[in-house]
Chain A
Amino acid sequence: MNETMDAAVGKPMDRVDGRLKVTGGAKYAAEFPLPNLAHAVMITSTIAKGRVAKMDTSAADAAPGVIKVLTPMNAPRLPNDPSYSPGGASGRPQDRKLSVLQNSAVYYNNEPIGLVIAETLEQAMHAAALVQVEYKEEKPALNMGREKKNAYKPKAANQEPTDTHRGDITSGQRDASRRVEQTYTTPMENHNPMEPHATTAVWDGDDRLTVYDATQGVFGVQNVLSRIFALPKSNVRCVSYFVGGGFGCKGSVWSHIPLAAMAAKSVGRPVKLSLTRAQMFGMVGYRPQTEQDLMVAAKSDGAITASSHASWSNTSTFDEFVEPTAAVTRILYESPAQETSHRLVRLNYGTPTFMRAPGESPGTFAIETAMDELAYSLKMDPVQLRLRNYAEVDPESKKPWSSKSLRECYKVGAEKFGWDKRTPAPRSMTAPDGRLLGMGMASATYPVRRSAASALARLLPDGTAYVQAGTQDLGTGTYTIMTQIAADALGLPVERVRFELGDTEMPETPVSGGSQTAASTGSAVKQAGLAARDQAVQIALADPSSPLHGMSAADLDVKNGMIFVKAQPDKGETYAELIARQKLPKIEAKIQSKPGEEKNQYALHSFGAVFVEVLVDPDLGEIRLNRIVGAYGAGRILNAKTGRSQLIGGVVYGVGMAMMEHTIPDPRTGRIVNRDLGEYHVPVNADIPDIDITFVDEVDTIINPVGAKGIGEIGITGVVAAIGNAVYHATGVRVRDLPITLDKII
């Protein structure tokens, strides 16, 4: 008995935490009513570069309810584990977490420079407004175009090589009959999860710290805090049962987390610190702006002979993050000659970070728009052009794909969409109401990632199971799919499995980022479940009083909590009977699951194809999406309902990126001017058309034990270019600078 019966996995099961969420029973990081809780509000900088010269806190100190005002001048010195260097090999942005309030330097606007701790939130807000700050200001670097001359080459592009080179570009270009050379630009964008970052910190004595945090990685928080406060890891606990969206910004430890811990320590009380919406713009990351130079050259039959993708993005002046936009161009199409590169420009903004499909979303916008331009230049159908250059193996590493269903995705997507009805000439199609109709498409792709993860599965005397992994649920459905995976592995119905997550006291798992949770933690949960089941079976086989005594495991199966003989299904016993007779408190297995050699032998990616129809008002330039069809090959879909929701959510995120999202800094001060949800536009319901998602059948036995590729991010890739391509088809105007707003096409 090796494989499991898939009774639950794949089913469109409702969220196990749905009821808790809609009834308010789900507790988020700012909702733990600890006794004696104090409230903290941050004071943030109003200049982008310089020093805090003076902070007058006298009025704030004297304001009602104020317990303490922390400034760079009076903040406790942090012990800091000296062996810990920021940035470092992890490639993860480190912000200034080692130096919050440790000196008076200011690196960006809206950076935390002080903290007021008071009895109530309102008192803290009031006192924070009373603090007078004087700066010694320096001229900030805020404009990427102007600073591009100082660009530098980072050591890596988010774990991928910074630059690549294959073949001979010059001769490739010589062989070509058509060449597209264009620059594509994308602005800064902010994640804007519905739940702002929040941390509640409580100390037990001097050396035990617990934080309730809105995070995508409880173990990352534990690790960083233990180093900052020089504590053994086991003395730091991070809890995060529910997260109201992350999209990447909650994947790193930012300044407010150590600040909350520092505050709690310095006032000797639990402290709660929530960011305001405005504070979400700067200190907790964002997608950096990018500038991408693309070249694609092809023969008249569409065969690409050479391509290049040179990318610039901004990072902060004190830390490094690379938006690896050119990585997709390396793997998407055959191109015998190719050059790609990434360069960074240091600017006085906070450190950028991972934002849903970092690299892939701006990267696919660039390459997939360039492909559309090439198709027009060749007078070739955009789908045909992509098929003509279909990569049968990874064109960069030459490794075979573990699986790839992109051809199927083009076919299914085009059929469902009715791509054959498209007449290629721009402005050649109109809707019955007179609006211009445009159809565009693009390819989608995202790598398959997996990290080491652990899980524990425990069979209990009452015939239920309790399964744990210290992972996070950002709203994606982790609670639900893990319950399904565990139930099938254990041979139990889902109602008898309780899955818990979100605590560093639980088995260690990686950050919920890079669409890796299903693959990593899902594999661990599955293996832990199988191990507990096998243990129970072994105990039964060895027990002379068991009806299964002396049989062979290969002859047995488990279903509905009953271990039985395959050939004689009524012969067997339940877990509960076994545990009772054995007088055991539990049967339990804890395992660690790790990726193996597959990554070295195969190229691991999901692919998809997305088709978009837009209607454009020819006079007013208003762009309305009419429908979106996406087909994806993403391995095993663990829950048909939450899986589809993930893809729809990704596509909606792409709609925002394509049509409206734009973090706008003031050109002089670097202060984000649209730092609220009234002016930072994300799509509303009225912007979203029918989104038709299909998963093509894809069985991948290589990638990981659950066969899932990860679906949190692929949805945003491709769709941005598909929208732009549809707008071009409708209007004849090519917008190469996101977002595609009406002023750019009237």
Chain B
Amino acid sequence: MHPFSYRQASDEQSALSGVSGQPGAAYLAGGTTLIDLMKLDVQKPSQLIDITPLPWTKITELPGGGVSIGAMVRNSDLAHSEIIMTRYPVLSEALLSGASPQLRKMATTGGNLLQRTRCYYFRDITTPCNKREPGSGCSAMDGYNRIHAILGTSKHCIATHPSDMCVALTALDATIVTRGAKGERRIPINEFYFTPGDHPERENVLEPGELITAVELPAMPFTGRSHYRKVRDRASYAFALSSAAVALDIQGGVIKDARIAMGGVGTKPWRALDAEKALIGKTAGPDAYKAAAEAALHGAKTHKDNAFKVELAKRTVIRALTMAAQKTA
């Protein structure tokens, strides 16, 4: 742990100005990712700007039926919000499958979007890691990689994005609202994250100092029939080995529209567009789900310890679709 200074932001402006031109400054929200990484010397901010006093703590209905979620809404409040539970059950289920009650009470919507990978080597500064130290090498590639990604990997990094919430947001086509030096930006979640490519250190499109203010969910009439299924190494309090967030629009037994995103297997929250295509127009049932699962895992690349994830992820998708279909829309 390195010495740092600490300041509370009183409003958006003081937060932005606290960080602008200060390469060592970082925003502190719930701290459940950042403080951990500071203790491990993985992140060494010289200044923390505590943004928890900022007023983005509300969940509000948007005109047109969508929902806006303030960046400072705690994961537990979001999960238990009435409107989310009824209109977007997949999001509530995803949040409740993550971490522990104590952590969910601390964790914020903005912080969750920016949580870092759980790759062991990223979290150990004594080992090479391209994400932490560009060009140093990837220790996971030939190391122990049971928890690592099989989709979206590059020869420089195979780390997963570990969030559950973000998988649901990806299936729901969420928009991330930010404010930075250039004013407000609205970024579709599918364009928010990068795959590692040649630059695993660059994880998303945010500019230095840019603040996330809210996440918006579009109106989507069929998301009542949505479901999150997470598979992990113990019954609770573990990151996903594989997960799936799905929503189905079924009319007269035929799939009109579908959303599928996967967790635990991708280098970013993984939207499975081909799998969705494979479903549309098909009769809802095992054959369609199986075909979608195959499409979802197309191109998966495994390493020494994570080959099992391909089959597991397919079965997770099938299970999530099966469960969602059983819900009444």
Residues on A lying within 8 angstroms of B by beta carbon are 46, 64, 122, 125-126, 129, 619-622, 624, 659-660, 664, 666-669, 671, 673-674, 678-679, 681, 683-687, 741-743, 746
Contacts and interface: CB of A to CB of B under 8 A. Distances in A.
Contact of A687 (B1, B126, B235, B312): B235
B154 interface: no
B319 A664 contact: no
B233 interface: yes
Contacts of B182: none
B124 A620 contact: no
B144 A622 contact: no
Given A664-B144, A673-B121, 7 more contacts: A122-B1, A129-B41, A673-B120, A684-B234, A742-B233, A743-B146, A743-B312
Interface in B208-222: none
B143 A673 contact: yes
B233 A741 contact: yes
Most chain A beta carbons < 10 A, residue from B3, B41, B235: B235
Interface in B223-257: 231, 233-238, 241
A684 B237 contact: yes
A619 B118 contact: no
A622 B241 CA distance: 11
Interface of B: 1-3, 41, 118, 120-121, 124, 126-127, 139, 142-144, 146-147, 231, 233-238, 241, 308, 311-312, 315-316, 318-319
30 contacts: A46-B126, A64-B3, A122-B3, A129-B2, A129-B41, A619-B319, A620-B312, A621-B312, A666-B127, A666-B139, A666-B144, A671-B124, A671-B126, A673-B120, A673-B143, A679-B120, A681-B233, A681-B234, A683-B234, A684-B234, A684-B235, A685-B236, A686-B234, A741-B233, A742-B231, A742-B233, A742-B312, A743-B146, A743-B312, A746-B311
Main secondary structure on A side of the interface with B = loop
Nearest to A129: B41
Contacts of B127: 666, 669, 671
Contacts of A684: 234-237
Contacts, number: 77
Per CB-CB distance, the 7 closest pairs between chain A and chain B, nearest first, are A686-B235, A673-B120, A743-B308, A686-B236, A46-B126, A619-B315, A687-B235
Nearest to B123: A676
A683 B316 CA distance: 23
Contacts of A64: 3
B223 to A, nearest CB: 24
Contacts of B142: 668
Nearest to B44: A129
B319 A678 contact: no
Nearest to A682: B234
A359 B308 CA distance: 32
Nearest to B121: A673
A280 to B, nearest CB: 15
B242 to A, nearest CB: 9
A746 B312 contact: yes
Contacts of A683: 234
A673 B311 CA distance: 25
B52 to A, nearest CB: 22
A439 to B, nearest CB: 20
Contacts of B238: 681
A127 B73 CA distance: 37
Contacts of A673: 120-121, 124, 143-144
B323 to A, nearest CB: 12
B118 A678 contact: yes
Contacts of B308: 743, 746
B120 A674 contact: yes
Contacts of A668: 142-143
A145 B124 CA distance: 27
B315 A746 contact: yes
A36 to B, nearest CB: 23
A126 B38 CA distance: 11
B236 A667 contact: no
Contacts of B1: 122, 125-126, 129
A46 B126 CA distance: 7
A126 B235 contact: no
Contacts of B236: 684-687
A64 B3 CA distance: 10
Nearest to A621: B312
Nearest to A669: B127
A683 B234 CA distance: 7
Nearest to B126: A46
A660 B235 CA distance: 11
A620 B316 contact: yes
A125 B40 CA distance: 10
A175 to B, nearest CB: 42
B312 A660 contact: no
A109 to B, nearest CB: 9
B263 to A, nearest CB: 14
Contacts of A122: 1, 3
A666 B124 CA distance: 12
Contacts of A619: 315, 318-319
Given A125-B1, A684-B236, A743-B308, A667 B143 contact: yes
A620 B233 contact: no
A666 B3 contact: no
B120 A660 contact: no
A684 B127 CA distance: 30
Contacts of A741: 233
B146 to A, nearest CB: 8
Given A129-B41, A620-B319, A746-B315, A666 B143 contact: yes
A659 B233 CA distance: 8
Contacts of B147: 679
Contact of A620 (B41, B234, B315): B315
Nearest to B231: A620
A290 B234 CA distance: 24
Contact of B3 (A126, A624, A685, A742): A126
A667 B139 CA distance: 11
Nearest to A130: B2
A660 B146 CA distance: 14
A559 to B, nearest CB: 49
A401 B319 CA distance: 54
A674 B124 CA distance: 10
Most chain A beta carbons < 10 A, residue from B121, B143, B233, B318: B233
Contacts of A666: 127, 139, 143-144
A138 to B, nearest CB: 17
A539 to B, nearest CB: 58
B212 to A, nearest CB: 24
Contacts of B235: 624, 684, 686-687
A669 B41 CA distance: 20
B172 to A, nearest CB: 24
Nearest to A624: B235
Nearest to B237: A684
Nearest to A677: B237
A664 B316 CA distance: 26
Nearest to B41: A129
A64 B241 CA distance: 44
Nearest to A123: B3
A134 to B, nearest CB: 13
Contacts of A679: 118, 120, 147
Most chain A beta carbons < 10 A, residue from B126, B234, B236, B316: B234
B8 to A, nearest CB: 20
Nearest to A744: B308
A469 B144 CA distance: 47
B202 to A, nearest CB: 25
A375 B41 CA distance: 54
A659 B231 CA distance: 15
Contacts of B146: 743
Contacts of B311: 746
A667 B144 CA distance: 7
Nearest to B236: A686
